[in-house]
Amino acid sequence: MDKRRYFDWAATALPLPSLGDIDIKNTFGNPSSPYAEGRQAKEALEKARSRCAKALKVPAECLYFTSGGTESNALVLHSLLLRPKKVKFLYSAVEHPSVRENCLVLEKLGFSPAIIEVEKDGRVSPEILSKALAKNPDARLAAIMAVNNETGAIMDMEGLSKILRAKDGAPVHFHGDLVQAAGKIPLDIRSWDLDSASFTAHKLGGPRGIGLLYLRKPLEVLYSGGGQERGIRPGTENTSGALALAACLEQYASPDAVKLEQEKARQRWGHLIGGLKKNPRALLIPESRTEDDLRFSPWILQARFKDVPGEVMVRALDSEGFAVSTGSACSSSSPDRPVLEAMGLDEHARLEGIRISQGWSTTLEDIVALLEGIEKALAFL
């Protein structure tokens, strides 16, 4: 083993070297404090918010700093608890645990969520959403992620929003988990007509513990405290984290940056997919995925290897110097694979799945080495 090669960027990205230039010493004050140090931190925080807003092309007053994607998702979902009566809501069968598990909590509290099924490729189609709405005409919220964190499946967010907006009766709040989409595919929150959206910094090369919540209109939330973030997320703000998140979004979320990085990622992923297709023991999930398949993010790939449990393959590749995963790091302690189950894979196939994901420092040399590492690992399995 000559070096470690990292292929679990969907769990967390390597930190951007440029973040070392962030001015921490001069922004340490509490942004709520009235004296000079506090005012200086407040100014830095609001500049970070404006920079995030410019990168995402949304009004700054619609952005709230949070601790990450999980908290952003929870703030939206748990706001349902404050409605005058328990409302029906929908979430896709392939949502991240931070959405799925919070929906299950609401179900225990007396709500009746309904699951939006997915096609075999793991995507929510407008037709499926339309059928789910027809079965649940009283739904008042729909949570659908833009890019799946295990398969890389890209949802047609604009098409889905048109279905939701065309529904008769009371409007449906459209919440999008954009954690795996920001900086990876072109974002257009306005065209997608989202009411709320979640982001986190550490998938983009920023630190953990800082995220964003986009709200077209303020929500009532369960949290209370000092009134920071206009009451949506009370608690002393993470100023240095906000500056880091702004820098990450500026570097990777602008349309030109996304286009450039996406093309380079597609070339590398094309080499990986082509190499795996030549391996008789390798199968892609879904099997229909091709080298230039625009239905999938070029940053995430799900594959399996015949008769090799995913956990065994992860350990074998680890010993060869490669970091991959079996799926979401947030549910790594559970053998369940609800995303793959929703796509119709049987239990045997689900347990064989591993996730490979790349990021800003991945090279073609890394891909070539990974394919060789897979061959070496399979020789002993």
Last residue of a domain, one of 223, 252, 281: 252
What pLDDT is stored for residue 254 in this prediction? 85
Backbone dihedral region for residue 131 (phi beyond 0: left; psi -120 to 50: alpha; all else: beta): alpha
Q: Rounded to an integer, what distance in angstroms lies between the CA atom of residue 70 and that of residue 200?
A: 9
**Could you tell me if 223 and 341 lie in one domain?**
no
Q: Taking each helix axis as running N to C, give the angle between helix 126-135 and helix 157-165, from 0 to 180 degrees, rounded to the nearest 10.
A: 30
CB 123 within 8 Å of CB 155: yes
**Could you tell me if 189 and 259 lie in one domain?**
no
Last residue of a domain, one of 206, 228, 252: 252
**Could you tell me if 323 and 245 lie in one domain?**
no
Does residue 207 have a pLDDT over 70?
A: yes
What pLDDT is stored for residue 33 in this prediction? 96
**Could you tell me if 218 and 182 lie in one domain?**
yes
pLDDT tens-digit readout, 348-357: 999 999 999 9
Give 57: exposed, middle or buried? Use CB within 10 Å, 0-12, 13-18, 19+.
middle
Indicate the pLDDT class of residue 334, thresholds 50, 70 and 90.
Answer: low
- Residue 260's domain is classified under what CATH number? 3.90.1150.10
- Residue 52's domain is classified under what CATH number? 3.40.640.10
**Could you tell me if 309 and 262 lie in one domain?**
yes
Report the domain count for the chain.
Answer: 2
- Tokens 């100023």: give the residue: 239
**Catalytic site includes residue 330:** yes
Q: Rounded to an integer, what distance in angstroms lies between the CA atom of residue 381 and that of residue 174?
A: 45
Last residue of a domain, one of 252, 282, 309: 252
- The strands making up 173-177's β-sheet, listed across from edge to edge, are 63-66, 211-215, 196-200, 173-177, 139-143, 88-92, 114-116
**Could you tell me if 60 and 102 lie in one domain?**
yes
In the set 52, 62, 248, 330, the catalytic residue is 330
Does residue 15 or residue 23 have the better pLDDT? Answer: 15
Which of helix, strand or coil describes residue 58? coil
What pLDDT is stored for residue 243 in this prediction? 96
What pairs with residue 284 in β-bridges?
303
Mean pLDDT, all residues of the chain = 95
pLDDT tens-digit readout, 208-253: 999 999 999 999 999 889 999 999 999 999 999 999 999 999 999 8
**Could you tell me if 162 and 292 lie in one domain?**
no
Cβ-based neighbours of 320, under 8 Å, separated by 6 or more = 1, 373, 376, 377
Q: Rounded to an integer, what distance in angstroms lies between the CA atom of residue 218 and that of residue 75?
A: 11
What pLDDT is stored for residue 22 in this prediction? 83
**Could you tell me if 93 and 9 lie in one domain?**
no
**Could you tell me if 90 and 219 lie in one domain?**
yes
Q: Rounded to an integer, what distance in angstroms lies between the CA atom of residue 114 and that of residue 96?
A: 16
**Could you tell me if 74 and 146 lie in one domain?**
yes
Cα dihedral 101→107→113→117 (10° resolution): 40
- Structural Rg of the chain based on CA atoms: 21
Indicate the pLDDT class of residue 255, thresholds 50, 70 and 90.
Answer: confident
What pLDDT is stored for residue 333 in this prediction? 59
Mean pLDDT across 68-93: 96
**Could you tell me if 273 and 193 lie in one domain?**
no
- For 270, which DSSP code? H
Cα dihedral 306→308→309→312 (10° resolution): -150
Q: Rounded to an integer, what distance in angstroms lies between the CA atom of residue 354 and that of residue 350?
A: 9
**Could you tell me if 242 and 262 lie in one domain?**
no
pTM confidence score: 0.95
CB 249 within 8 Å of CB 56: yes
Domain span holding position 151: 24-252
What pLDDT is stored for residue 24 in this prediction? 81
Of the candidates 217, 151, 149, the residue with the CA atom closest to the CA atom of residue 178: 149
pLDDT tens-digit readout, 95-152: 999 999 999 999 999 998 999 999 999 999 999 999 999 999 999 999 999 999 999 9
Find the DSSP H helices in 253-309. 255-277
pLDDT tens-digit readout, 276-326: 999 999 999 999 999 999 999 999 999 999 999 999 999 999 999 999 998
